[in-house]
Amino acid sequence: MADLYRSVGPPNFIRAYDEAEQELKFNLPPWRLSTASQKLLTVCLYIAIYLPVLVLFIITVGGYSIYLIFYIKPLITDIDKIPEVYYYHSESERNASKTKGWTFFSLITWCVLWILVSHYRALRTNAGEIPKEKEWDLPSEDNSESSNESTMLIEKRKDGTIRTCARCQHRKPDRTHHCKQCERCNLKMDHHCNWIANCVGYFNYKYFFLMVFYGALALAIFICTFWETAVVVLNDETSSQFLCLFIVLSYSLGSMLGIALLGFVIFHLWLISNNYTTIEFCEKKKEITLESKISPYKLGLFDNFKEALGNEPLFWPFPFKYRDADDKGLYFKVNR
């Protein structure tokens, strides 16, 4: 079967599908020529893809604004209206509350800044594509699969043949998977993330991780401090019912989101320390023996973190200086 595939190329139905797809791509009318229904369909499609991105942005900026207005502002401003009886009773306590306010303001602003930058970079950075080089072409007579490069790959199909993608017409490097939503293969694919409208892979994993990490950190600060606002507002007789409900709801939702995000960060820290991607973890779960569950890419703890977050530990907490220019993400060190 493999020989047949090699000599005649991909099966007919795949070729027919690809031809139809190409034809469709090149024959779609440009925007000004398309009909109203085609325009509406395109707009709806874009909204569906980018809505979660917008929602995440609104949650970040909205949550930050609520924190500043209802928690930070009463701590650091001198307006008489503030129910100062709850925050300070003397001049020294007032200064202490100001210091506290400015400290949490700096911490939360630091986190929100990196959430936004990481979100943008995760969204805009290509997860990693297979290069259009002969080395990754499908096996054929003049492109023998017994080349040096393919013997360096360790992942094989169950029948022992090399992994290929019929949709992209490529050989697959190790840890590469095809994403149906992005309609292409991604290097060291972790998962497709709707919140960034992109796949998480070799070149943007750190940005995705930092976005989640700083999100969990910001929400941890929120959970540990914002309850004070809830106590003040609920005890203040001048607070309206709407304000009480708003503050309690904000705190409850923030806490739930924070706990969920913290769990997600712990899961990803575990994945990083075991050199797994989410897809590999799900696949390995099915393995029977304990030994086969261990990732073949698992190195020492420090090296595992270097593979996930980049070679320079000083830059791990920041969403830049990630992959080296000559790093293509095609081959991985193996634990023998």
Tell me which stretch binds Zn ion (CB under 5 A): 111-119, 149-157, 158-166, 253-261.
158-166
Residues 174-193 that bind Zn ion (CB under 5 A): 178-179, 181-182, 185, 192
Residue 193 or 219 having the CB closest to Zn ion: 193
Least Cβ distance, residue 136 to Zn ion (angstroms): 11
Cβ pair 152, 174 in contact under 8 A: no
Helix (H, G, I), strand (E, B) or coil at 113: helix
Residue 70 or 208 having the CB closest to Zn ion: 208
**Residues near Zn ion (CB under 5 A), total:** 10
Tell me which stretch binds Zn ion (CB under 5 A): 144-152, 198-206, 211-219, 255-263.
198-206
Q: d(Cα 76, Cα 81) in Å, to the nearest integer?
A: 13
Tell me which stretch binds Zn ion (CB under 5 A): 139-147, 159-167, 252-260, 292-300.
159-167
Residue 66 or 200 having the CB closest to Zn ion: 200
Which position among 199, 211, 262, 309 is part of the footprint of Zn ion (CB under 5 A)? 199
Q: d(Cα 46, Cα 44) in Å, to the nearest integer?
A: 5
Least Cβ distance, residue 132 to Zn ion (angstroms): 13
**Ordered DSSP codes for 260-308:** HHHHHHHHHHHHHHTT--HHHHHHHTT-SSHHHHS-TT---HHHHHHHH
Residue 164: which H helix or E strand, with range?
strand 164-165
Which position among 98, 163, 167, 298 is part of the footprint of Zn ion (CB under 5 A)? 167
The closest of 101, 85, 91, 89 to 236, measured between CA atoms, is 85
Distances (CA, A) of 73 to 52, 68, 83, 104: 30, 6, 12, 11
Residue 13 or 31 having the CB closest to Zn ion: 13
Q: d(Cα 329, Cα 336) in Å, to the nearest integer?
A: 20
Least Cβ distance, residue 187 to Zn ion (angstroms): 11
SS3 content of the chain, % helix, strand, coil (to 5): 60, 5, 35
Least Cβ distance, residue 149 to Zn ion (angstroms): 18
Q: Which residues, at least 6 apart from 34, have a Cβ–Cβ distance to it below 8 Å?
A: 28, 42
Q: d(Cα 308, Cα 269) in Å, to the nearest integer?
A: 10
Residue 222 or 268 having the CB closest to Zn ion: 268
Which position among 168, 197, 221, 330 is part of the footprint of Zn ion (CB under 5 A)? 168
**Does residue 279 bind Zn ion (CB under 5 A)?**
no
Residue 168 or 271 having the CB closest to Zn ion: 168
DSSP 8-state assignment for residue 140: B
- Copy the structure tokens of residue 183: 């309609």
Residues 245-264 that bind Zn ion (CB under 5 A): none
Least Cβ distance, residue 286 to Zn ion (angstroms): 22
Residue 34 or 169 having the CB closest to Zn ion: 169
Query: From residue 43 to residue 82, what is the string marking binding to Zn ion with x (rule CB under 5 A)?
Result: ----------------------------------------
Q: Which residues, at least 6 apart from 206, have a Cβ–Cβ distance to it below 8 Å?
A: 308, 309, 310, 316, 319, 322
Least Cβ distance, residue 56 to Zn ion (angstroms): 17
Q: d(Cα 65, Cα 41) in Å, to the nearest integer?
A: 35
Q: Which residues bind Zn ion (CB under 5 A)?
A: 165, 167-168, 178-179, 181-182, 185, 192, 199
